């Protein structure tokens, strides 16, 4: 067809579709099962599982026309390549749904209903899928992960809203990086940005909540090691070979097929070997990776303006004016930041319309994995039961309301929807954290030998008196391996291998006579000593089954030099005891009768997080380490304790 336009038909398949590509912590692919509902379906659909009748109403009524590689100009003249998907026979003026993606927009061209491009277009939207600046077909140089995404998103919304076929309203969607691009442009408050669905996108929060939890960067002051390295070496490449600037759209289309996307050869990289490489700052050189911003990432101090001004992370000054449906999952590395964003957008909104229309959905899955839900959704090694919702119905009604002015009841859904693991039920609430939370202290006890699951560690509500502290040796040459969580080997996984180690302290309650629901933020207060100037402390919350299986629920880490704030470094002195607070993120977990609640404490979780070399130096430029003798105190003076957000029965 002329002008680079193809006509594609969205066909019907009468059962849930598997995604074409799997979603990992490093991917950013929003793949939606082909499910939809009647435009007039009542609101109570959101409280039910997907039914067979809903699964069979999959096809939108429009066929789809694709206009390839439209070059949209940004304010500095750089043009970003954008595919436009049009519903054939739709209204003359249509709303637009924008997805901005650094991972090759051409993936959306596959003739399958598993793509959000064809799904939304078949329901009467223009869908714009765009390569980020410097990526694939787009012009420019790729900046650090979020460098130009805010202004490029704003300029793209501006261009889309002014087209003759536009009704002036633009919505955005996408998970992971395409979710973060939405978050980044939101504070610029383009008047035509009518609604957002940012998914798995809490990583942009940065300094706004005081945690400095930068995605592919740091958590608790510790480098997000394995995920960050592999992302920067592959997806974070700065340069690519492209056609010369200044060509017309038609000239660009004529030569696109002769250019391999990105035209960059990325060498094979053995990350199982590279993750051990020291010094950390040189790992990209060791890997032979193309140019990227890894060096700046690992050397920038917290509080450096670079994080906000160039990386684009929030700094606490943002304001908003857009309804947003925030989505994440409990085994996502930034689920707590997504929950924070839900409140932050509401509290910093400049209009009542925006403040009153912030919503939050928290699934039990791994990163961007809720669309994979089945009757037996497996997360890691654990069956979470039936976690399904009519996700497409929710997405469609959200955009129908905000982009088509259809009063379909979507804004009457609960402000918060969350899945209680263990009970395996969806629940709803008016706020997060839940106002009825009873924060309960569970104190650490032992006779001084809580080392491993075979030790004497106990977790109870009784305050300790005079008890011997627990000591363990942290050797950076033999770190505790990462099993389960939100990164390497993600999800819920049996901790038997971890808990057999002497450098892991294990504290366990008695069998529970009654079930306990833990829903909300988890905090661990530790009183610690060390022979090192600086070290890390790690923790995991565990659900122990009657047969002995022990599944990780949530985890946390803190570099002790940052115990007084992440923009201040304070070293330890041998012989002194220090109070530290570990943020262990959020969860919703029901510990069933007969189960036990367990806490693991150690000083490493590798390769999910970098090893602290214990020298008190920069860590990123060092190749030698010091073995640390670390101590956890639990006594009347030093009452180390876990704080759990318990939901009262009834």
For residue 411, the model assigns a pLDDT of 97
Q: Within this chain, do residues 216 and 325 fall inside the same structural domain, yes or no?
A: yes
pTM for the full predicted model: 0.90
For residue 144, the model assigns a pLDDT of 76
Q: Within this chain, do residues 119 and 255 fall inside the same structural domain, yes or no?
A: yes
The residue segments making up the domain with residue 413 are: 2-429
Number of separate domains in the chain: 2
Stretch (H or E) spanning 586: strand 578-591
Q: What are the backbone dihedrals phi and psi of residue 350, each rounded to the nearest 5 degrees, phi first?
A: -95, 0
Measured from the Cβ of residue 510, the count of other Cβ atoms closer than 10 Å reads 10
Q: Within this chain, do residues 375 and 448 fall inside the same structural domain, yes or no?
A: no
Q: Within this chain, do residues 634 and 601 fall inside the same structural domain, yes or no?
A: yes
- What is the mean pLDDT, run by run of 10 residues, along the chain of 650 residues? 36 27 31 29 32 48 93 95 94 95 87 79 96 92 85 98 98 96 97 98 94 84 90 89 81 78 82 95 95 93 91 95 98 95 98 98 95 92 95 96 97 98 97 98 98 98 96 98 88 97 98 98 98 98 98 98 97 97 98 98 96 98 98 98 94
Domain boundary among 408, 429, 450: 429
195 close to 171: Cβ distance less than 8 angstroms = yes
The three-state secondary structure class of 631 is strand
Q: Within this chain, do residues 386 and 444 fall inside the same structural domain, yes or no?
A: no
- The Cα–Cα gap between 391 and 322 comes to 21
- The Cα–Cα gap between 278 and 622 comes to 7
578 close to 560: Cβ distance less than 8 angstroms = yes
Q: Which residues are catalytic?
A: 176, 332, 367
Q: Within this chain, do residues 418 and 517 fall inside the same structural domain, yes or no?
A: no
Q: Within this chain, do residues 91 and 175 fall inside the same structural domain, yes or no?
A: yes
Q: Within this chain, do residues 383 and 408 fall inside the same structural domain, yes or no?
A: yes
Q: Within this chain, do residues 225 and 90 fall inside the same structural domain, yes or no?
A: yes
Q: Within this chain, do residues 420 and 524 fall inside the same structural domain, yes or no?
A: no
Residue 315's domain is classified under what CATH number?
3.40.50.1820
Q: Within this chain, do residues 117 and 77 fall inside the same structural domain, yes or no?
A: yes
Q: Within this chain, do residues 391 and 528 fall inside the same structural domain, yes or no?
A: no
Residue 605's domain is classified under what CATH number?
2.60.120.260
Domain boundary among 429, 448, 483: 429
Domain boundary among 429, 448, 476: 429
645 close to 519: Cβ distance less than 8 angstroms = yes
- The Cα–Cα gap between 178 and 47 comes to 27
Nearest in space to 579 (alpha carbons), one of 528, 619, 517: 528
Angle in degrees, CA 408, 413, 414, rounded to 5: 170
Strands 536-544 and 596-602: antiparallel
For residue 632, the model assigns a pLDDT of 98
Question: Alpha carbon of 328 to those of 59, 99, 136, 358, 408: distances in Å?
Answer: 27, 17, 28, 14, 24
């Amino acid at each position: 067809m002329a002008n680079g336009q193809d006509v594609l038909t969205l066909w019907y398949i009468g059962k849930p579709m598997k995604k074409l590509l799997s979603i990992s912590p490093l991917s950013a692919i929003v793949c939606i099962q082909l499910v939809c509902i009647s435009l007039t379906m009542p609101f109570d659909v959101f409280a039910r599982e997907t039914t067979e009748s809903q699964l069979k109403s999959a096809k939108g009524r429009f066929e789809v026309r694709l206009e390839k590689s439209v070059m949209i100009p940004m304010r500095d003249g750089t043009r970003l390549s954008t595919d436009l998907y049009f519903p054939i026979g739709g209204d003359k003026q249509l709303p637009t749904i924008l997805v901005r993606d650094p991972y090759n927009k051409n993936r959306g061209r596959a003739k399958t209903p598993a793509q959000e491009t064809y799904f939304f277009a078949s329901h009467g939207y223009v869908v714009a899928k765009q390569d980020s600046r410097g990526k694939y077909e787009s012009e420019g140089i790729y900046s650090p992960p979020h460098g130009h995404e805010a202004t490029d998103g704003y300029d793209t919304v501006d261009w889309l809203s002014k087209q003759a076929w536009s009704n002036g309203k633009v919505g955005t969607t996408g998970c992971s990086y395409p979710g973060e691009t939405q978050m980044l442009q939101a504070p610029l408050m383009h008047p035509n940005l009518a609604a957002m669905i940012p998914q798995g996108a809490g990583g942009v929060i940065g300094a706004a909540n005081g945690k400095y939890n930068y995605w592919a960067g740091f958590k608790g002051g510790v480098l997000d090691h394995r995920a960050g390295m592999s992302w920067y070496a592959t997806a974070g490449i700065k340069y690519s070979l492209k056609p010369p600037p200044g060509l017309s759209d038609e000239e660009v289309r004529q030569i696109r097929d002769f250019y391999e996307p990105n035209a960059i050869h990325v060498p094979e990289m053995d990350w199982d070997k590279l993750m051990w490489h020291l010094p950390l700052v040189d790992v990209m050189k060791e890997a032979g990776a193309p140019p990227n911003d890894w060096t700046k990432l690992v050397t920038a101090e917290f509080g450096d303006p670079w994080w906000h001004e160039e990386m684009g992370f929030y700094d606490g000054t943002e304001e908003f004016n857009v309804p947003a449906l925030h989505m994440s999952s409990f085994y996502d590395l930034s689920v707590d930041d997504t929950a924070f964003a839900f409140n932050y957008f509401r509290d910093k909104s400049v209009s009542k319309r925006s403040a009153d229309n912030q919503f939050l959905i928290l699934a039990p899955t791994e990163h961007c994995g809720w669309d994979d839900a089945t009757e037996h959704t497996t997360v890691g090694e654990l069956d979470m039961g039936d976690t399904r919702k009519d996700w497409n119905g929710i997405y469609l009604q959200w955009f129908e309301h905000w982009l088509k002015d259809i009063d379909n009841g979507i804004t009457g859904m609960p402000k918060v929807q969350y899945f209680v693991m263990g009970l395996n039920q969806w629940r709803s609430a008016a706020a997060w954290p839940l106002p009825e939370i009873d924060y309960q202290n569970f104190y650490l006890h032992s006779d001084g030998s809580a080392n491993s699951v075979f030790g004497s560690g106990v977790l109870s509500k009784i305050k300790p008196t005079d008890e011997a502290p627990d000591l363990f040796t942290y050797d950076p040459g033999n770190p505790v391996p990462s099993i389960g969580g939100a990164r390497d080997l993600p999800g819920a996984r049996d901790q038997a291998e971890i808990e057999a180690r002497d450098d892991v302290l294990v504290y366990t309650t008695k069998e529970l006579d009654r079930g306990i629901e833990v829903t909300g933020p988890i905090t661990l207060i530790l009183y610690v000593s060390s022979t090192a100037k600086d070290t890390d402390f790690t923790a995991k919350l565990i659900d122990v089954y009657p047969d002995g299986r022990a599944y990780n629920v949530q985890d946390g880490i803190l570099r002790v030099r940052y115990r007084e704030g992440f923009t201040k470094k304070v070293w330890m002195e041998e012989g002194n005891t220090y109070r530290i607070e570990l943020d262990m993120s959020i969860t919703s977990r029901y510990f069933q009768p007969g189960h036990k609640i367990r806490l693991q404490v150690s000083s490493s979780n590798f390769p999910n997080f970098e090893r602290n070399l214990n020298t008190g130096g920069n860590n990123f430029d060092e190749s030698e380490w010091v073995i640390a003798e670390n101590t956890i105190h639990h006594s009347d003076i030093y009452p180390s304790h876990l704080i759990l957000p318990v939901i009262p029965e009834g």
